[in-house]
Amino acid sequence: MSDHPEQFTPDLTIAPELLDDISGPEALRWATAWSDATEEAVRTQPGTAELEQRMREALDTQAKIPYVTRRGEHLYNFWRDRDHPRGVWRRTTTEDYLAGGERWEVLVDVDKLARTEDADWVWKGATVRPLHHDRALLRLSRGGADAVVVREFDLTSREFIDGFTLPEAKSDVSWVDLNTLLVGTDLGANSVTDSGYPVEVRRWERGTDLASAPVIFRGERDDVAVGAQVDHTPGFERVTFTRALDFYTSLTFVGDATGRMTLIDAPTDCTVVPHKQWLFLVPRTPFAGLPAGALGVIQLDAFLAGDRKIRTLIDDAPINDLSITSTHLLVTTLDNVVTRISSFELGTWSRSEVALPDAATASVVATSPLDPVHGEEVWINVSNFTTPSTLLRNGQVVRQAPAQFDASSLETRQHWATSTDGTKIPYFITGDFTRGQRPTLVGGYGGFEVSLTPGYSALRGMAWLEQGNFYVQPNLRGGGEFGPQWHSQVVKTNRHKVWEDHRAVLEDIVARGYSAPSLLAIRGGSNGGLLTSGALVQYPELFGAAVIQVPLTDMLRYHTLSAGASWMAEYGDPDNPEERAAIEAWSPLQNVTAGVSYPPALVTTSTRDDRVHPAHARTFALALAKAGQPVDYFENTAGGHAGAADNQQVARVETLIYQWINKKLGVR
Q: How many Cβ atoms are within 10 Å of 208's Cβ, its own excluded? A: 11
Q: CA 270 to CA 265: how far, in whole Å?
A: 10
Task: Concatenate the DSSP letters of all residues of 210-261 into one string.
Answer: GGGSPEEEE--TTSSEEEEEEE--TT--EEEEEEE-SSS-EEEEEE-TTS-E
Element (H, E) at 529: helix 527-538
375 near 326, Cβ under 8 Å? yes
| Three-class SS state of 35 | helix
Q: Which residues are catalytic?
A: 526, 641
Helix pair 647-665, 25-43: axis angle to 10 deg: 70
Going across the sheet that includes 238-244, the strands are 225-231, 238-244, 250-255, 261-263
**CA 240 and chain centroid, separation:** 24
Phi, psi of 415 (to 5 degrees): -125, 170
Q: Residue 291: is it exposed, middle or buried by C-beta count within 10 angstroms (0-12/13-18/19+)?
A: middle
* Strands laid side by side in the 520-525 sheet: 411-418, 424-431, 470-474, 440-442, 520-525, 545-549, 601-606, 631-636
With the CA atoms of 527, 627, 500 and 477 taken in that order, what torsion angle do they form, in degrees rounded to the nearest 10? 0
SS3 content of the chain, % helix, strand, coil (to 5): 25, 35, 40
Whole-number CA gyration radius for the chain = 25
- 3-state SS of 101-162 is CCCCEEEEEHHHHHHHHCCCEEEEEEEECCCCCCEEEEEEEECCCCCEEEEEEECCCCEEEE
CA dist 221 → 65, 198, 245, 337 (Å): 42, 9, 10, 37
Q: Which residues contact 167 (CB under 8 A, 6 or more apart)?
A: 149
Contact in structure between 310 and 297 (CB atoms under 8 Å): yes
Q: How many residues does the chain have?
A: 668
Task: Report d(CA 205, CA 194) in Å as an integer.
Answer: 27
